[in-house]
Amino acid sequence: MRVPLLDLSQQYRTLAGPIRAQIEEVLASQRFILGPKVEAFEQAICAYCAAPHAIGVSSGTDALLAILMALGIGPGDAVITTAYSFFATAACIARVGATPIFVDIDPGTYNLSPSALEGFLRDECEQKADKIIVRKSDATVRAMVPVHLFGLCCDMDSLHRVSEKYQLDVIEDAAQAIGAEYQFNSQLKQAGTMGECGFFSFYPSKNLGAAGDAGLIMCRDDKLAERLRICRQHGMKPRYHHHFIGGNFRLDEIQAAILNVKLPHLNGWSAARRAAADFYGEEFSRTGLTQKISLPIEPYRERGLNHHHIYHQYVIRSPMRDALREHLTRCEIGTEIYYPIGLHMQECFAYLGYKEGDFPETERAAGDTLALPIYPEISRETQKYVASTTLVEPLEI
Ligand SMILES: *Cc1c(COP(=O)(O)O)cnc(C)c1O
Cα of 267 from ligand 1 centre, angstroms: 20
* DSSP assignment string, 77-88: EEEEEESSS-HH
Torsion sign across C-alpha atoms 348, 354, 355, 357: negative
Residue 98 and residue 228: Cα distance in Å, rounded?
A: 19
Q: Which atom of ligand 1 is nearest to the CA of 213?
A: 7
Residue 282 and residue 9: Cα distance in Å, rounded?
A: 27
Q: Which residues surround ligand 1 with Cβ inside 6 Å?
A: 59-61, 85-86, 88-89, 147, 173, 175-176, 201, 203, 213, 215
Give the three-class secondary structure for 395.
coil
Residue 82 and residue 311: Cα distance in Å, rounded?
A: 19
Cα of 151 from ligand 1 centre, angstroms: 12
CA distances from 110 to 150, 269, 308, 346, 389 (A): 9, 23, 15, 18, 26
CA distances from 312 to 101, 205, 397 (A): 26, 9, 31
Residue 69 and residue 86: Cα distance in Å, rounded?
A: 20
Give the three-class secondary structure for 304.
coil
Give the three-class secondary structure for 109.
coil
CA angle 172, 176, 181 (to 5 degrees): 70
Q: Which atom of ligand 1 is nearest to the CA of 62?
A: 9
β-pair partners for 152: 309
- Helical (H) or strand (E) element with 189: strand 187-190
Question: Residue 315, by phi and psi: left (phi above 0), alpha (psi -120 to 50) or beta?
Answer: beta
Cα of 355 from ligand 1 centre, angstroms: 25
Cα of 86 from ligand 1 centre, angstroms: 6
Mind listing the pLDDT tens digit of every residue in the chain (397 residues)? Answer: 999 999 999 999 999 999 999 999 999 999 999 999 999 999 999 999 999 999 999 999 999 999 999 999 999 999 999 999 999 999 999 999 999 999 999 999 999 999 999 999 999 999 999 999 999 999 999 999 999 999 999 999 999 999 999 999 999 999 999 999 999 988 999 999 999 999 999 999 999 999 999 999 999 999 999 999 999 999 999 999 999 999 999 999 999 999 999 999 999 999 999 999 999 999 999 988 888 899 999 999 999 899 999 999 999 999 999 999 999 999 999 999 999 999 999 999 999 999 999 999 999 999 999 999 999 999 999 999 999 998 876 655 4
Determine which residue's CA is closest to atom 5 belonging to ligand 1: 60
Q: Which atom of ligand 1 is nearest to the CA of 149?
A: 13
- What backbone torsions phi and psi does residue 218 show, to the nearest 5 degrees? -115, 145
Summarize pLDDT for 234-282 with one digit per residue, the tens.
999 999 999 999 999 999 999 999 999 999 999 999 999 999 999 999 9
Q: How many CB atoms neighbour CB 245 within 10 A? A: 9
